[in-house]
Amino acid sequence: MRIGALEAGGTKMVCAVATEQGEILERESFPTTTPEESIPSLTSWFAERNVDALGIGAFGPTCVDPKSPDFGTILETPKLPWRGYALRAAFVDALDVPVGYDTDVNVACLGEATFGDSRGIADLVYVTIGTGVGAGVMCGGQLLHGMLHPEAGHMLLNRVPGDEGPCVCPSHDSCLEGLAAGPSIERRWGAKGFELADRPEVWELEASYLAQMCYNLVLCYSPRRIILGGGVMHQEQLYPLVREKTLRYLGGYITAPELEDIDSYIAAPSLSDNQGVLGCVELGRRALAAASA
The residue from 164, 201, 253, 292 that contacts its own copies (CB under 8 A) is: 253
Q: What are phi and psi of 251, to 5 degrees?
A: 55, 30
Question: Which SS3 state, helix, strand or coil, does residue 227 take?
Answer: strand
Helix residue ranges, H only, the chain = 35-48, 87-95, 104-115, 176-180, 182-189, 200-221, 238-250, 257-260, 262-265, 275-292
Q: Which residue number, 178 or 279, has a Cβ lying nearer to its own copies?
A: 178
The contacts of residue 24 (CB under 8 Å, 6+ apart) are: 16, 17, 18, 274, 277, 278
d(CA 50, CA 54): 10
Please report whether residue 254 would count as binding its own copies according to CB under 8 A.
Answer: yes
Q: Which residue number, 224 or 285, has a Cβ lying nearer to its own copies?
A: 224
Which residues ranging from 9 to 28 are in contact with its own copies (CB under 8 A)? none
Q: What are phi and psi of 89, to 5 degrees?
A: -60, -35
Write the binding mask 118 to 157 for its own copies: x where contact by CB under 8 A, - elsewhere: -----x---------------xx-x-xxxxxxxxxxxxxx
The region of 22-30, 51-59, 179-187, 249-257 touching its own copies under the rule CB under 8 A is 249-257
Number of residues located near its own copies, criterion CB under 8 A: 45
The residue from 21, 29, 41, 174 that contacts its own copies (CB under 8 A) is: 174
Q: Which residue number, 22 or 153, has a Cβ lying nearer to its own copies?
A: 153
CA distances from 43 to 1, 9, 10, 58, 129 (A): 18, 16, 18, 15, 30
Whole-number minimum distance, CB 146 to its own copies, in Å?
3
Which residues ranging from 198 to 237 are in contact with its own copies (CB under 8 A)? 212, 215-216, 218-224
Q: Which residue number, 75 or 86, has a Cβ lying nearer to its own copies?
A: 75
Whole-number minimum distance, CB 142 to its own copies, in Å?
5
Q: What are phi and psi of 9, to 5 degrees?
A: -100, 170
The region of 2-10, 12-20, 166-174, 279-287 touching its own copies under the rule CB under 8 A is 166-174
Please report whether residue 286 would count as binding its own copies according to CB under 8 A.
Answer: no
Whole-number minimum distance, CB 97 to its own copies, in Å?
26
Q: What are phi and psi of 24, to 5 degrees?
A: -80, 120
Please report whether residue 161 would count as binding its own copies according to CB under 8 A.
Answer: no
The contacts of residue 77 (CB under 8 Å, 6+ apart) are: 59, 60, 61, 83
The contacts of residue 123 (CB under 8 Å, 6+ apart) are: 138, 139, 140, 221, 222, 223, 224, 225
Interface ranges with its own copies (CB under 8 A): 61, 75-76, 123, 139-140, 142, 144-159, 171-172, 174, 212, 215-216, 218-224, 249-256, 258
